[in-house]
Amino acid sequence: MKTALALIGLLALPAAASESAGTFVVVYQAAPANRVAFLRELESSGAKQLQRWKDEGALQGYRLLVSRQEYVAYLDDYVLPQVAGWAEEGVLDSHAVYLAQYPAARPWQSLLLLEYRGDEALAAREAVVAKVRARLAANAKWKAVSDNKKNVRVERPPVVADPVSSKEIR
């Protein structure tokens, strides 16, 4: 039996704070040359301030997002080389990446679906991931994206699911 693993990425809906808490949206753009420094600054001081306001009840929640173009570049440069490596190692049958069509209304922004060859292949996941990442670390472009990945996405816990035939749901 094949086993599927879904990784839901980027966002979860914020929990409500106090009834009087407000929400605001701020959009920043940074030139590509300044983006890494900007994201580091936002992560170190900006996110801490937002979290303080949330903890104090001044905000219901906040989300730090990257552009769709940046996320697609992250997929191309970081995620897909790993997935190709996992397939080469023989643990994956297939994979798919879905991006939310209307992201503002979704509790998630991206979905990575990995179809493993079976339970044994899924059990080998951690070892294969480590092996492929060690190999990819020699690639400077992949390594740079790997070092910066926390500025592009938030990884949620995976969901393991078995396929169900239409006969089983009747």
Instruction: Give all strands of the β-sheet with 159-161 in edge-to-edge order.
Output: 92-99, 110-116, 3-9, 159-161
In this predicted structure, what is the pLDDT of residue 52? 87
In this predicted structure, what is the pLDDT of residue 15? 39
In one-letter notation, the amino acid at residue 40 is: R
CB 108 within 8 A of CB 120: no
In this predicted structure, what is the pLDDT of residue 16? 41
Mean pLDDT of 10-17: 36
Least confident of 25-29, 87-91, 124-128: 25-29
Q: What are phi and psi of 105, to 5 degrees?
A: -95, 5
Mean pLDDT of the chain: 78
In this predicted structure, what is the pLDDT of residue 166? 73
Mean pLDDT of 62-85: 86
Mean pLDDT of 7-20: 40
The dihedral built from the CA positions of residue 47, 53, 55 and 58, taken in this order, carries a sign that is negative
Nearest C-alpha neighbor of 79 from the set 48, 113, 107, 102 = 113
Which residues are CB-contacts of 79 (< 8 A; sequence separation ≥ 6)?
A: 97, 112
